[in-house]
Structure 1
Amino acid sequence: MSERFSLSSYLHDPDERFCRPAIPEYFRDAAIVYTGGVCLNNGQDHLTAGYGVFWGSGHPNTISRPVYGSWPTNQRAELLAVRSAMRQALRDGFGKMIIRTDSMYIINSFNCWIHTWKENGWLNKNKMPVSNRYLIQDIDRLRCHLPIFFQHVRAHNGVFGNLMADRLAKHGARSF
């Protein structure tokens, strides 16, 4: 990894004051990444979705991708962004990371609901199969190798990393 993209340059982020909950001490030296997903044309025949992963301006891991498949959703796009960021971090040897997202679906899925889903055989509170189960399970398996702290960022609050992740996600959706 070049000096320009060294780990230390991504450890502190001035946007932390806009994020909740506060970062636990264990994650104070973790890499920070912003993820975003979007689905365009909701309620119309031609849905397109995309996701973005923002590591920092000019960082080689920053990506923008479309979501392929017959039924793209913003939740699926958000999950794909998280999984991509985790795979990048594992490939590059990061020991732990903070994922910042404006998606309460991501925050709740991994901080709250996943425990109940596992206990209920991957059924939700309405006894229906959990949507996006396989993506969620894949991310959960990756968490065994990479400790993750999910941190919520309020959308449209001027947080640069979050704005960039959303912009990348929209670009990914439009590139389909």
Structure 2
Amino acid sequence: MTIVAAADGSALGNPGPSGWAWYVDDERWSAGGWPHGTNNMGELMAVIDLLESTAHLDDDLRILCDSQYVINSVAKWMPGWKRKGWRKSDGSPVLNRELLERLDRGLQGRSYTFEWVKGHAGHDLNEAADARARAAATAYQKGDTVPIGPGWPGRAPGTGEPAADAALEFDLFDGLPAEETDEQTVERLERELLEPAVRADSSRVAALLHPGFEEIGRSGRLWGRDALLESLADEDAPAAELTVLGAERIGEDAILLTLRTTDTRGGTLRSSLWLRSAGRWRLRFHQGTPEP
């Protein structure tokens, strides 16, 4: 027998109140979250809890995810990260290491397949998991009781926030400053957009892009938001180093970031216009020009 389940994560603010959920049917689903987390944390935890909830079963698992970050972590990146002591090719530590190690342990000895599904496209299982993950994140935001679900029959339902995960939250965010300036926030988000793991997760990139986003690439091509998101799904771009040249506030809710990136193609001078709306900074316009 094969268990078919959808797993999804949600974050309000990213980082911010976050939730995760997996869903098989109305009698078999579970959800939880953290007061402070990221979308990728939620995506990982949804799969982890599904694995741990079904660890006593011999059934195969078919896991439906709209997160290419999770799928690529399992299929492409984790073997190399483990060989390098959970460090990336540039020597920097892998984000979400604690969750990834827990995921790796949960996969040992299991028969499973991952299947990518497009998020918010009417897939019944994915929509059910998404709604429950979002409900958990919203509950943390409002201070309400988290709807954790029935769990898996024969396994006692948890609290939605296991004790180990409470400690994990502090581990993952100890490195963040208590209060960032707006300029620091924009720089951090710009750097996130260069992370291969982030670029592989279309939902994470979409959360960082303004609805009216446009980009003039280093080739001179004009990209719209949808076209860029579609192209990133198959991207195999070289790793890049980023140097911030300046951050100029051009309005109360607008910052122009100028920077230089360097990769195997050479140097590129870039400018990014970040706009804040409803408390969130999102990239409205980006341009890249190759250095001579």
Shared fold by TM > 0.5?
yes
* Residue 50 of structure 1: aligned partner: 19
Say if 2:81 is the partner of 1:109. Answer: no
Q: CA deviation at 1:89?
A: 1.1
Q: CA deviation at 1:52?
A: 1.0
* Residue 35 of structure 1: aligned partner: 7
* Residue 43 of structure 2: aligned partner: 78
Which is strand-richer, 1 or 2? 2
Candidates 98, 112, 127, aligned match of 1:148: 112
Provide the TM-score with structure 2 as the length reference. 0.46
Give me the CA root mean square deviation: 1.5
**SS of aligned partner of 2:102:** helix
The aligned amino acid for 1:64 is A
Q: Which runs of 5+ in 1 are unaligned?
A: 1-28
* CA distance in 2 between partners of 1:110 and 1:32 (Å): 18
Q: Which runs of 4+ in 1 moved over 6 A?
A: none
Q: CA deviation at 1:169?
A: 0.5
Q: CA deviation at 1:118?
A: 1.3
Report how many residues are paired.
Answer: 140
Candidates 99, 122, 125, aligned match of 1:161: 125
Q: CA deviation at 1:110?
A: 0.3
**SS of aligned partner of 1:166:** helix
* Residue 66 of structure 1: aligned partner: 33
* Residue 60 of structure 2: aligned partner: 96
Which is helix-richer, 1 or 2? 1
* CA distance in 1 between partners of 2:82 and 2:31 (Å): 31
* Residue 20 of structure 1: aligned partner: none
**SS of aligned partner of 2:55:** helix
Q: 2:22–2:29: 8 Å Cα contact kept in structure 1?
A: yes
Q: CA deviation at 1:95?
A: 2.9
* CA distance in 2 between partners of 1:89 and 1:42 (Å): 29
Q: CA deviation at 1:147?
A: 2.1
Larger radius of gyration: 2
Provide the TM-score with structure 1 as the length reference. 0.74
The aligned amino acid for 2:53 is Q
Task: Pick 1 or 2: higher relative contact order, CA cutoff 8 A, min separation 6.
Answer: 1
* CA distance in 2 between partners of 1:102 and 1:159 (Å): 10
* CA distance in 2 between partners of 1:145 and 1:81 (Å): 19
* CA distance in 2 between partners of 1:86 and 1:172 (Å): 19
Aligned identity (percent) is 27
* CA distance in 2 between partners of 1:33 and 1:121 (Å): 31
> Equivalences for 1:18-33 in 2 at 5 Å?
29-33=1-5
**SS of aligned partner of 1:90:** coil
Q: Which runs of 5+ in 2 are unaligned?
A: 141-292
Shift in CA distance, 63/113, structure 1 to aligned 2, threshold 3 Å? same
* CA distance in 1 between partners of 2:126 and 2:58 (Å): 21
Q: 2:12–2:18: 8 Å Cα contact kept in structure 1?
A: yes
**SS of aligned partner of 2:110:** coil
Cα deviations by residue, 1:70-127 (Å, 9 ceiling, x for unpaired): x401111111100110111113x14320111100110110010011111211101221
